[in-house]
Amino acid sequence: MKFSPARSADRLRGDLALAVLAGLLVLLTLFSLTLGRYPISLETILDILTKPGHASEEARDATARTVVLMVRLPRIIAAVLIGGGLSLSGLAYQTIFRNPMASPALLGVSAGAAFGASVALLLSLPTLLVQGAGFFGGLAAVTIALAANRATNARSIVTLVLCGMVVSALFQALISIVKYVADPVETLPTITFWLMGSLAKVTVSDAMVLSGPIVVCGLALYLNRWRIGLLALGEHEAATMGVDVRKLRMAVIFFATLMSAATVCVAGVIGWVGLLIPHLARASFGMEPGRLTVSTALLGSIFLLAVDDLARSISVVEVPIGVLTALIGAPFFLLFLLRSRQGRWA
């Protein structure tokens, strides 16, 4: 049979490119560990990573260990997880909503999570409750959007998107009210900073809590990549090719929402990553679901890690990462649109 040699060469090249990306991520991680105000050499860092500490070590060494393992590493891990998670959510949403402009925030998860966390900050609740409130706020927003869609008889994708927009707008308005009544000395700056997204306060437990939902949901999306890809053709065609459209769509929304809500409650609102990275991945790696999913996750991780490195080294005062992703993401996206082929969209 004509087992096209061109295709397998193509596939080999694709796999090689993915391996290169993975290697790039590892290198960037090591590099990121060396960045920071507290001076630590690469040698020391490698030492800290590989050998366990002892109680009798000098204060200076103990501090270096603290900085690497408790300040920098959790932050880097969070950036990798969040970058990958948001990108995968964005890819999933763009596929199931058949809309290249979709982002993880489409159904209101970011606005809902931001609202939940803002209220918790307003009430001066401890960090754990702020994160919990954010998480459930995000889930609540999406649930409301889905319920509203169910209540309408149309039950089409368009009404779902519209419900999401309405829910987003509603929660944004509520956030404005929270900001208005918040005490301008302590609470309001905290809320504002939180809304702009930041990885500055990520602790070890944050990173661990984050890894659960993102790894599990990411894996779920990867394993179902072919069926999810089918949804891009439309409900009727996907159904006739064997997909239980409603169930799969719900499942994808569930996983993507869980991932997005988890990222928002740890790091605040970080935009543009979920929108931009899937486009880059599609343009560079094509539509083959396996390569597309893996490359999306890797590109997302690399992107956010690089941006976070920039956020904490660009000036004395740390720049909120949500601001940087927008500042970098928007022109990047414009450039990409200008240079991409016309045939990319239907």
Based on the shown chain and the rule CB under 8 A, indicate whether residue 242 belongs to the binding site for another protein. Answer: yes
Q: Whose CA is closest to 65, among 44, 35, 79?
A: 44
**Nearest distance from C-beta of residue 17 to another protein, angstroms:** 17
The verdict on 230 binding another protein (CB under 8 A) reads: yes
Q: Should residue 138 be labelled a site residue for another protein when binding is judged by CB under 8 A?
A: no
The residues in 52-71 that bind another protein, with binding defined as CB under 8 A, are 59, 62-63, 66-67, 70-71
Token pair recorded at residue 69: 């393992």
Neighbours of 244 (CB within 10 A): 12
| 5 contacts another protein (rule: CB under 8 A) | no
In this structure, are residues 215 and 208 in contact, taking their beta carbons and an 8 Å threshold? no
**Among positions 51, 54, 236, 339, the unique one binding another protein when judged by CB under 8 A:** 236
Tokens of 173: 């308005």
Stretch that binds another protein, among 16-24, 257-265, 284-292, 329-337 (CB under 8 A): 284-292
Q: How far apart are CA 187 and CA 130, in angstroms?
A: 13
The residue among 228, 177, 181, 202 whose CA lies nearest residue 321 is 202
Residue 134 interacting with another protein (CB under 8 A): no
Binding of another protein at residue 157 (CB under 8 A)? no
Which three-class secondary structure state does DSSP give residue 315? coil
Would you tell me the crossing angle of helices 204-223 and 73-96 to the nearest 10 degrees?
A: 30
Please state the closest distance from residue 106 (CB atom) to another protein, in A: 14
Would you say 94 or 263 has its CB closer to another protein? 94
- Three-state SS for 97? coil
Tokens 């990047």 identify what position? Answer: 332
Q: CB–CB of 175/220 below 8 Å?
A: no
Minimum gap (Å) between residue 144 Cβ and another protein = 26
Question: In the complex with another protein, which residue's Cβ is closer, 239 or 328?
Answer: 239
Does position 47 interact with another protein (CB under 8 A)? The reply is no
Positions 169 through 188 that interact with another protein (CB under 8 A) = 180-188
User: Which residues in the 305-324 window bind another protein by CB under 8 A?
Assistant: 312, 316-318
Rule CB under 8 A: which of 102-131 touch another protein? Answer: 124
Q: Is 1 in the site for another protein (CB under 8 A)?
A: yes
How many other C-beta atoms are found inside a 10 Å radius of the C-beta of residue 69? Answer: 16
Q: According to the binding rule CB under 8 A, does residue 15 interact with another protein?
A: no
Binding status of residue 152 toward another protein by CB under 8 A: no
Distance in angstroms (rounded) separating the CA atoms of residues 326 and 167: 22
288 binds another protein (CB under 8 A): yes
Amino acid making up residue 136:
F
